[in-house]
Structure 1
Amino acid sequence: MRFLWTDHLAPLPEHPLDTDITADVCVVGGGIAGTLIAKELTERGADCVLLDATLPGAGITKGTTAVLTAQHDQLYYKLAKTYGRNAAAEYLHANLEGLAHIRRLAKDIDCDFEVRPSVMYSRTGRDNLKKEADFLHSVGFPATYTTRPDLPFAAVDAVTYPDMAQFHPLKFLHAVARSLRYYSHTFVRKLDGTTAITDRGRVRAKKLVIATHFPFVNRRGLYFVKQYQMRSYVVAFAGAPDLGCTAEDAGNAGGGFYFRNYRVLLLVGGGSHRTGRKGTGFAAITDFVRTHFPDATEVCRWANQDCVTLDYVPYIGRYSPAMPNVFVATGFGLWGMTTSAVAAQLLADAIEGKQNRYAAVFDPARSLLHPQLLANLGATLGDFLLPLPRRCPHLGCALRYNRAEHSWDCPCHGSRFDSAGHLIDNPAMRDAHV
């Protein structure tokens, strides 16, 4: 696999931790979320350190399509039914503020920031897009609904979100990280209160933030029950049209696609499936492009992984009632750009003891009484009981071999290992015996 965003990009300087240190706040995890959180805390005057097991931006963030949008699938209509109209409206406004926050930072960064509308389309007309648009109008957002989408492939109807954006995620993240006190190649093995214990020393902090994609403290918070991981695939093509927007199939979870352009390339993503299960992988994408854009040629391809919560709303807030000085940001799904910026504002307020109007919407301690909980527990238990010899060192689930990527994947919680058993993706904290 070749990641588009790492092409022709100078790596960040390496600064491994080499002694015990102290800080006001320690942020663990240098993806887009951890980097933005550390940036916000630093700008507010906190002595903040950022720790990453490799380098900031070298994990999940390098595989994002980097669409900056408040269009998060058909979430608003669902949220209004589950939590009420006000909660859905607050989720919308939080993400619009997150987009505005990144826009402000990007003004001083050469990161190919570009304003584009976001289009969510339906191939069947059965995806409730009219209801989604009606809800958005009811809370004052100027979405537009059409039964004649201007797209170069068949679509029945669509909702357009104006003034969304896209950018180069690593150009942006690297510029932000260079302004921070970060330590690379510093793997946090465990926590002792608010002290992060690494292979290279200890970081004693007053407050601590876990932004490691999937949280690694199992005894508190029950994040291994409250979310799961999804694998998805992206291919970049030359010789394909500029859509003039970012676009997502409202049926993406059922095999649809999502799109954005970058310079002369069209990025097409899709093939989403639960990590450790079979999926269509890259084949569905290449078949679609071959049919609709026969002159397009493949430039590069990669796969990525996302944490998905039971109600599709990220967990941002206190890690657990039993850990009052430890905070978490996880479960961003496919929409980690704007929600990471939400996390930066929300957690900085929480650490300073300030009220944040969006805290209740993203509260990790919100009710788990969802049908998805039983479904997730059932799927996890089934994989745990499989009589297979290779087990995940996280919580002991059976590993399955991923032939497309030559990796051993855990279908319970999404840990991944290369063919020799070396850890690729957490929540596992050590290599597997394969």
Structure 2
Amino acid sequence: MSQSVWTDHIKLPDFHKLEEKKKTHVLIIGGGLSGILCAYFLELAGVDYILVEGKRIGSGITKNTTAKITSQHGLIYDKMIRNKGKEQALVYLRANEQALEMYRKLAKTIPCKFEEKNSFVYTLKNREWIEKEVSAVNSLGFPAKFVEKLPLPFETEGAIQFSKQAQFNPFQFIAGLAKNLNIYEHTFITEIAPNKAWNEECEIYANKIIVATHFPFINKNGSYFLKLYQHRSYVIALEHAQNVNGMYVDEAKQGFSFRNYDNLLLLGGGSHRTGKQGGNYDELRAFAKEYYLEGTERYHWATQDCMSLDSVPYIGQYSKHAKDLYVATGFNKWGMTSAMVSAMLLSDLVQEKENEWSRVFSPSRSIWHPQLFLNGIEATLNLLTPTFKRCPHLGCALKWNPIERTWDCPCHGSRFEEDGSLIDNPATGKLSFVPKK
């Protein structure tokens, strides 16, 4: 059975289930790191709020992160400067650096094994891409540098280094952050209307609602079913392996990532679009067998990321036509830093404060990117696949995942247990039938 290193030996605070009618100024739906940080900032500001979580806080994507806190998000800055201009790239960089600084500040009072580390994006064959990224980041006034040699068990063509980035234990952080917040657990919201959210057991009336559920589950606004797809990746934690003394990730989508936690090496990779085939744990274990002969696997886990059209998260008003409804999604592979950015931005927006980050992260920005058409083609092919095994979200054909023994949706990433129980949204309920493989 898979288990992340974060969930072992760490007990999170318990909260009651909501089974009545409530009124509040701000309702936050989703008890992952993003939602909890939103609640924390509203608590500090004295704003009336409620946070509801369908299962337990931190039980979704947050528990399966590799917990890197960095403003180095692949090779994003050269692309942003070319496609959006230097001003927006600079705002994006500043937002993520301020998020990192806020973690640094909070970690002084919340024990969470926060450690400053240098962060690297390396390449196996595209040295020119790294050189362009260094130049782009330097043009924004940030001191990134090109590095020739890395302490990895294979040769690279170089890397870009960001200094003074960080890593931490997200479950320890949540445990310290959430204990005094106004949270209800086991409260799975199934419906939202203007200024109201509910399920069969409770109703919540709110002036403003924040949807922080990883993948937004409301289809009638925002077109997130076209703007997002989900991507799975895998981690094994090895004892008696290498101390890489930093955080490393391949610029290629199918590459490996490396970082240490205590006496463990966290090796990530094997990624693929949810519902498709990929390297999964087999690829990681084959790599470990070749390069870390004495390494012993202590933990293994998988996660999935919401991928936006342009590699920038969607944070802000849910859509132009959804007043007082807000969203945080599309964090790509950088959920820890993006969770803080979203909380800082959304806590301003629900208090009707100006925030210079709004334009860069606006969910209503242009959707005309090549990935939009790829998402559309994927959805069309799966909708036309003749099978009774269909996702209750929008009716796409489900695929059996033999590695994790789950039913996965290639269109939008909903996942279900072998018996049909819901694991990951945007679906909001179990399968109406018990699938047979």
Alignment of 1:19-418 (within 5 A): 19-126=20-127, 128-251=129-252, 253=253, 255-418=254-417
Match of 2:426 in 1: 427
Once the two structures are superposed, what CA deviation does each residue of 1:235-284 show, in whole Å capped at 9, x if it has no partner?
00000111110110111x1x211111000000011111110001111111
Q: Match of 2:147, as an amino acid?
A: T
Cα displacement (A) at 1:179: 2.1
If the length of structure 2 is used for normalisation, what is the TM-score?
Answer: 0.97
Quick check: 1:213–1:330 contact (8 Å CA) kept in 2? yes
Please state whether the residue corresponding to 2:331 is helix, strand or coil.
coil
Quick check: 1:56–1:174 contact (8 Å CA) kept in 2? no
Cα displacement (A) at 1:132: 0.5
Quick check: 2:127–2:158 contact (8 Å CA) kept in 1? no
Cα displacement (A) at 1:370: 1.0
Alpha-carbon distance in structure 2 between the residues aligned to 1:62 and 1:148: 32
Please state whether the residue corresponding to 1:282 is helix, strand or coil.
helix
Q: Match of 1:381, as an amino acid?
A: T
Quick check: 1:229–1:306 contact (8 Å CA) kept in 2? yes
Relative to 1, partners in 2 of residues 1:291 and 1:360: Cα closer, same or farther, differing over 3 Å? same
Cα displacement (A) at 1:79: 1.1
Alpha-carbon distance in structure 2 between the residues aligned to 1:269 and 1:37: 28
Quick check: 1:5–1:168 contact (8 Å CA) kept in 2? yes
Quick check: 1:77–1:131 contact (8 Å CA) kept in 2? yes
Percent identical: 43
Structure 2 portions without partners, runs of 5+: none
Quick check: 1:194–1:207 contact (8 Å CA) kept in 2? yes
Please state whether the residue corresponding to 1:349 is helix, strand or coil.
helix
Please state whether the residue corresponding to 1:128 is helix, strand or coil.
helix
Quick check: 1:12–1:55 contact (8 Å CA) kept in 2? no
Cα displacement (A) at 1:152: 3.6
Alpha-carbon distance in structure 2 between the residues aligned to 1:366 and 1:271: 31
Once the two structures are superposed, what CA deviation does each residue of 1:367-389 show, in whole Å capped at 9, x if it has no partner?
01111111110111111111122
Q: CA RMSD in A?
A: 1.1
Cα displacement (A) at 1:202: 1.1
Please state whether the residue corresponding to 2:323 is helix, strand or coil.
strand
Alpha-carbon distance in structure 2 between the residues aligned to 1:199 and 1:111: 37
Once the two structures are superposed, what CA deviation does each residue of 1:46-97 show, in whole Å capped at 9, x if it has no partner?
0111100011111110000000001101111111111111111111111001
Q: Match of 2:90, as an amino acid?
A: A
Q: Match of 2:232, as an amino acid?
A: R
Cα displacement (A) at 1:127: 5.9
Alpha-carbon distance in structure 1 between the residues aligned to 2:141 and 2:423: 43
Alpha-carbon distance in structure 2 between the residues aligned to 1:407 and 1:126: 39
Please state whether the residue corresponding to 1:15 is helix, strand or coil.
coil
Once the two structures are superposed, what CA deviation does each residue of 1:315-346 show, in whole Å capped at 9, x if it has no partner?
00000122110100000011011111111111
Alpha-carbon distance in structure 1 between the residues aligned to 2:262 and 2:195: 44
Alpha-carbon distance in structure 1 between the residues aligned to 2:11 and 2:377: 45
Of residues 218-227 and 5-14 in structure 1, the stretch that sits farther from structure 2 once superposed is: 5-14
If the length of structure 1 is used for normalisation, what is the TM-score?
Answer: 0.98
Quick check: 2:12–2:171 contact (8 Å CA) kept in 1? no
Alpha-carbon distance in structure 2 between the residues aligned to 1:126 and 1:19: 59
